[in-house]
Structure 1
């Protein structure tokens, strides 16, 4: 009797556990394509990037798209700072929708911007150095240009409009792509910059930033020219 009751109890317990496990598996599978929720491989794929089954090489991806797509897109689509920055201060929501791009619903807006200005101050010696610029027409916005050696955020990846999470098999590869693009800024755009001599000089740039507050922006340069 006791053994029979135990067996019936075990069947009932197993009957309750199995559906729960199935639901958990389905939930995880459903979230594998949602940025920032789970880092889960898509079914049937190894960790890889766009168009391949091999392990994703973020450095190779950045090399492939930088000169051929990222730089031309920035040069073609960047808004003039004298137009974009005052617009964001006057109507953040409307200007964001008009000029910006989002990586996903609820993500911050990213923008491509161009401008010419004079270097007012240089902050170096930190992991994230910057130059503060005086740009005619930018109004009261505090404009800063990142100069490294570390570059943070995903503005370059998210602002160009042709790199999306759906091209990658997981969140790690998607994040690595952003980091590799930032590293291209370090190794190409600001490689020959001498921060110590930059103050007072005129710079011309295209770049990307994510909007935290319209009163101050930190732009990651995609192209940069410093006058002698």
Structure 2
């Protein structure tokens, strides 16, 4: 009884973090049913990210999206004012501003064979890459998670679960992309996505939510 009570407490806590899962006790399964699949942090966060993507994530990006050229000009005038005007709400003054941007640039470098595949784009016509478009499947950073105002740390069990949510959202972004093939250097790439203003507006690491090349 004590063991079952502990299991119930743990699983109930998991449900508070993510709806949509049904607990079926081993003794309650109908004869002939397959084994119960135990939800891990990874599977629960993956399900959360998939469920939230179309109804919540994409509308937030559309609401906050700004042309990259406009954002650059605003940051050059006053970075704090630009954040307040264009950025997503942030968690404290020490947190970086996260922005949703759209733009286009010429591909000056492409690493497509790596699991951390990426493109370097020249978006200001100086011949140098100034936007890194992360294609994945390995995508660095937590900008996509941190940008979403409906995602609150205290709604999750701990920092480990919260980190896995960031990975899950990045994975959904990757899954929605069509990864280019062949030599794409010199082609035009049009993009939408999210980034954190960490090292400055001159060097952006973008998590893309839309990407179109050469059309």
Q: TM-score, normalised by structure 2?
A: 0.72
CA distance in 1 between partners of 2:89 and 2:116 (Å): 24
Once the two structures are superposed, the pairs formed by residues 1-228 of structure 1 within 5 Å of their partners are 46-48=13-15, 49-50=17-18, 57-101=44-88, 103-105=90-92, 106-136=94-124, 142-189=130-177, 192-214=178-200, 215-228=202-215
Runs of at least 5 residues in structure 1 that lack an aligned partner in the other structure = 1-42
Contact 1:209 1:219 (8 Å CA) reproduced: yes
Provide the aligned C-alpha RMSD in A. Answer: 3.0
Moved more, 193-202 or 62-71: 193-202
Residue 101 of structure 1 aligns to a residue whose secondary structure is: coil
Any idea what SS the aligned residue of 1:76 has?
A: helix
Shift of the 115–46 alpha-carbon distance from structure 1 to 2, 3 Å rule, reads: same
- Structure 2 spans left out of the alignment, 5+ residues: 1-9, 24-38
SS of the equivalent of 1:151 reads: coil
Provide closer, same or farther for how the CA distance between residues 169 and 131 of structure 1 changes in structure 2, counting only shifts above 3 A.
Answer: same
| Residues 109, 227 of structure 1: alpha-carbon distance in 2 compared, 3 angstrom cutoff | same
Contact 1:122 1:195 (8 Å CA) reproduced: no
Write the distance in 1 (CA, Å) between the matches of 2:212 and 2:181.
Answer: 13
SS at the partner of 1:129?
Answer: strand
Question: Normalized against structure 1, the TM-score is what?
Answer: 0.68
Matched-pair contact (CA < 8 Å) for 2:104–2:191: yes
Residue 199 of structure 1: how far off its partner (Å): 1.7
C-alpha distance in 2, partners of 1:125/1:102? 36
Return the index of the structure with the highest Cα Rg: 1
Q: How many residues align?
A: 184
Deviations 1:111-134 (A, max 9, x none): 111112222221344443321222
